[in-house]
Amino acid sequence: MAEIVVIGAGLSGTLMAYELVPQLRKEDRLTLVGESSVFHFVPSNPWVAIGWRKKPEIEIDLTKVMKRKNIRFITAGAKRVHPDENRVEIEDGSSIAYDYLVIATGPDLAFDEIAGLGPNGHTQSVCHVEHAAEAHDAFERFCAAPGPIIVGAVQGASCFGPAYEFAFILDTELRKRSIRDQVPMTFVTPEPYIGHLGLDGVGDTKTLLESELRDRHIKWITNARVKSIEPDAMEVEEVAEDGTVRKSERIPFNYAMMLPAFRGVPAVHGIEKLTNPRGFIAVDKYQRNPAYQNIFAVGVCVAIPPVGPSAVPVGVPKTGFMIESMVTATAQNIGALLAGKKVAWQPTWNAICLADFGDSGVAFVAQPQIPPRNVNWSSKGSWVHLAKIAFEKYFLRKIRRGESEPFYERFLMEKLNIKKIKESA
């Protein structure tokens, strides 16, 4: 018998558990360790912050579905991984031994790296549904007494799509409330240019997103380093290519949402040979840690180097479809190992993304996500807003039903020639 343990019951960990079930032999046991029994659909957090969704609408209690699928579900959270002992220490003092471990713990949000950043400081966040709910309360207070807004991401951030989305849906909502004329907006980002997205752009995201910002009267600062944040103002430096400071600005705000840099969660951070200095898990082309070969990692917790040098640090995003390709490859590889074979399944890391603007949006396809690419396409239209709503409903249904990839999704992806797996055994 083999013990397979997945830690993290978010987007990647939940799908990971579902995809592992068909790989198991009768005698194997699968355990999922989460921090709570509730799954929330992270891509909908910006809508919660604006009031377009209520928190319960994007949450699912996983207890029943895990039971139905015969997955042992522990919700006390992992305290520490002990890779030399093949053991996960749980927050309640117990331990779980494993033969194969999948780490799917997502990001630790590094708000503490900048004074005044984050929900305990002076800016809002949409990274967690609790933050998004708080951001919504603050938004309602803001609308009663409007003023300047800052939206963006800080140095070292790797997730830029939600920052653009949030700026555009804020603009849409403020126009609906007829108070947009009282709100100067600034987009602040470490990206070397608008639309870089940590990916050196996809298709013509530079032109598309610049023109959208211009159309909506949103000013921007690129190559930005946030120095500190006070209750009503942000100190921002614009950095030149040679690293010198081109300009320093103090930008006032009544409401600000800034995405933080990510790092690995405390349960894995600082484990020699398992993680890089930021606490992300090192993986090979099979999603397996090179030092501890019975440990795999999927999702935002995976270490990926930046696409190239930039004046201010900019990370690479780990987007949903890319994560799903990591999950499928990992499930197949663990299945192969259980069957006495070798790992052979490589994820494509293809990215398909929908960024919502509230009334329209931008879609892009990057195959693979890291350039140079075979497919490098982006497009704008009102259909993207509708597609994003449909995707949310579809994804939540998959999670509720305990499915990772229904046959019709596989069929559609095959028709579109968008693959999750590069090679198979």
Look at the chain and count its residues: 425
Is residue 60 a contact residue for ligand FAD (CB under 6 A)? no
Residue type, 119: P
Minimum CB–partner distance for residue 90 and ligand FAD (Å): 8
Q: Contacting ligand FAD (CB under 6 A), which of 18, 19, 23, 77?
A: 77
Minimum CB–partner distance for residue 21 and ligand FAD (Å): 18
Q: How many CB atoms lie within 10 A of CB 68?
A: 10
Of residues 105 through 134, those in contact with ligand FAD by CB under 6 A are 105-106, 126-127
Cβ proximity to ligand FAD, 129 vs 194, nearer residue = 129
Q: How many residues bind ligand FAD (CB under 6 A)?
A: 31
Of residues 21 through 40, those in contact with ligand FAD by CB under 6 A are 33-35
Interior/surface letters 221-237, b for 16+ CB within 10 angstroms, e for the rest? bbbbbbbebeeebbbbb
Does residue 372 have a cis peptide bond before it, meaning omega lies within 30 degrees of 0? yes
The structure tokens listed for 266 are 């405390």
Cβ proximity to ligand FAD, 15 vs 336, nearer residue = 15
- Cα–Cα separations (whole angstroms), residue 284 to 145, 171, 287, 379: 52, 42, 5, 33
Sign of CA dihedral 72, 74, 75, 77: negative
Beta bridge partners of 101: 5, 295
Residue nearest to ligand FAD (CB): 10
Cβ proximity to ligand FAD, 89 vs 235, nearer residue = 89
Of residues 299 through 318, those in contact with ligand FAD by CB under 6 A are 299-300
Q: Which stretch binds ligand FAD (CB under 6 A): 2-10, 54-62, 219-227, 393-401?
A: 2-10
Q: Are 169 and 149 in contact (CB under 8 A)?
A: no
Q: Contacting ligand FAD (CB under 6 A), which of 24, 42, 337, 396?
A: 42
The structure tokens listed for 403 are 């499915």
Is residue 9 a contact residue for ligand FAD (CB under 6 A)? yes
Please name the helix (run of DSSP H) or strand (run of DSSP E) that holds residue 259, with its range, or none. Answer: strand 255-259
Q: Contacting ligand FAD (CB under 6 A), which of 172, 319, 330, 350?
A: 319
User: Is 159 a catalytic site residue?
Assistant: yes
Q: Are 119 and 125 in contact (CB under 8 A)?
A: yes
Cβ proximity to ligand FAD, 105 vs 123, nearer residue = 105
Q: Are 186 and 149 in contact (CB under 8 A)?
A: yes
Is residue 78 a contact residue for ligand FAD (CB under 6 A)? yes
Of residues 253 through 282, those in contact with ligand FAD by CB under 6 A are 265, 267
Minimum CB–partner distance for residue 105 and ligand FAD (Å): 4
Is residue 154 a contact residue for ligand FAD (CB under 6 A)? no
User: Is 353 a catalytic site residue?
Assistant: yes
Helix ranges, 177-277 (H)? 205-215
Q: Contacting ligand FAD (CB under 6 A), which of 45, 155, 189, 205?
A: 45
Is residue 96 a contact residue for ligand FAD (CB under 6 A)? no
Q: Contacting ligand FAD (CB under 6 A), which of 13, 119, 190, 260?
A: 13
Closest CA to 104 of 177, 47, 20: 20
Q: Are 398 and 408 in contact (CB under 8 A)?
A: no
N-terminal to C-terminal alpha carbon distance within the chain: 23
Is residue 283 a contact residue for ligand FAD (CB under 6 A)? no
Minimum CB–partner distance for residue 245 and ligand FAD (Å): 29
Minimum CB–partner distance for residue 25 and ligand FAD (Å): 26
Minimum CB–partner distance for residue 227 and ligand FAD (Å): 23
**DSSP assignment of 301-367, as one string?**
GB----SS--SS--PPP--HHHHHHHHHHHHHHHHHHHTT------B---EEEEEE-SS-EEEEEEE
Catalytic residue numbers read 159, 353
Residues of this chain that interact with ligand FAD (CB under 6 A) are 7-13, 33-35, 42-43, 45, 77-78, 104-106, 126-127, 159, 161-162, 265, 267, 299-300, 319-320, 323, 353
